[in-house]
Amino acid sequence: MSIIDLTNMAMEDTFEATILPKGEEAKLRLINIVTGTDKNNEAYMMPFFESVDDPYCKEFGDYLPLPNSDMSPKKLNDSKNRINSFLAAFDIDGSKEIVIEEVRGNEGWAILGIGTDQSDQPVNKISRYSSGQ
DSSP string, the chain: ------TTS-TT-----B-PPTT-EEEEEEEEEEEEE-TTS-EEEEEEEEESS-TTBPPEE--EEPP-TTS-HHHHHHHHHHHHHHHHHTT--TTS---HHHHTT-EEEEEEEEEE-TTS-EEEEEEEEE---
Instruction: Look up the pTM and report it.
Output: 0.88
Q: Across the 133 residues of the chain, what is the mean pLDDT of every consecutive 10-residue run?
A: 84 86 97 96 97 96 96 96 98 96 98 94 96 72
| The pLDDT value given to residue 2 | 87
pLDDT-above-70 percentage for the chain: 99
